[in-house]
């Protein structure tokens, strides 16, 4: 079946931010007196803040301080870490190829809407996007399927079976499964191929450039699944 639309996660998939988000969370937790292992935080990348905090904070602390911690983390990330963010190679070129093939390009990110606008500019893709959703527009972030479901609503009447998600984390894959959409994984976010495949990815590539180089044989073109190393 031909793929009519491709939905992209952003952090760790298109923009090299997973390490930056992880560092911001560690610093924010420390500011509120909670010491966490950076590696443990890194393994939670792909979740939105509402889903990440319960992995490290007691329920009563989340109830008392959760919104304050999130505000502090968001401000810290914007001031200290966001200026370091860079797009991965090949992102604009991949989007151009998809548009040339007549496919819709959609962003579905756990980032805030303001961050998402910055990422569009950073990757030079604002003119190539048909629709976008962020954590501001849904009740629950990944690994819940809400963001992908919202993205699917934006591109109706294209059906879920005509869509492929591209993401970098097992939590993206879990969300894609919940939305009944196939997912292609990329390694550039720091998760291994085994973890991505175990979470349900039908193929794995290094990054956007690798996907572009292998487009014709990839699920993005509606071909059989394969793994690229």
Q: Return the pLDDT at 214.
A: 97
**Which pLDDT score is estimated for 189?**
97
Query: Please, what CATH class does the domain formed by 18-84 belong to?
Result: mainly alpha
CATH superfamily of 5-16+86-221: HAD superfamily/HAD-like (3.40.50.1000)
pLDDT of the residue at 118: 93
Helix then strand count (H, E) for the chain reads: 10, 6
Question: Mean pLDDT, 10 residues at a time, over the chain (229 residues)?
Answer: 93 97 97 96 92 95 94 95 97 98 94 88 96 86 93 95 97 96 98 97 98 96 55
Cα torsion angle, 197, 136, 107, 182, sign:
positive
Predicted pLDDT of residue 223: 57
Identify each DSSP E strand in the chain by its residue range. 5-8, 104-108, 131-133, 163-167, 182-186, 203-205
pLDDT of residue 111: 80
């Amino acid at each position: 079946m031909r793929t009519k639309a491709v939905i992209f996660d952003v952090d760790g998939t298109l923009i090299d931010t997973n390490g930056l988000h992880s560092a911001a969370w560690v610093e924010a937790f420390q500011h509120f007196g909670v010491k966490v292992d950076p590696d443990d935080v890194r393994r939670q990348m792909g979740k939105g803040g509402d889903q990440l905090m319960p992995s490290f904070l007691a329920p009563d602390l989340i109830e008392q301080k959760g919104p304050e911690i999130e505000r502090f983390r968001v401000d810290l990330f914007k001031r200290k870490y966001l200026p370091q963010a860079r797009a991965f190679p090949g992102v604009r070129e991949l989007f151009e190829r998809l548009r040339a093939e007549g496919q819709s390009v959609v962003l579905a990110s756990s980032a805030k809407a303001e961050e998402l606008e910055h990422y569009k500019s950073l990757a030079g893709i604002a003119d190539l996007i048909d629709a976008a959703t962020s954590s501001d527009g849904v009740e629950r972030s990944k690994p819940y399927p809400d963001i992908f479901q919202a993205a699917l609503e934006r591109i109706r009447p294209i059906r879920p079976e005509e869509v492929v998600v591209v993401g970098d984390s097992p939590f993206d894959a879990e969300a894609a499964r919940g939305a009944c959409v196939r997912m292609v994984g990329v390694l550039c976010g720091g998760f291994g191929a085994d973890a991505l495949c175990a979470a349900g990815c039908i193929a794995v590539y290094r990054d956007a450039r690798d996907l572009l180089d292998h487009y014709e044989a990839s699920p993005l073109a509606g071909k059989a699944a394969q793994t690229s190393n």
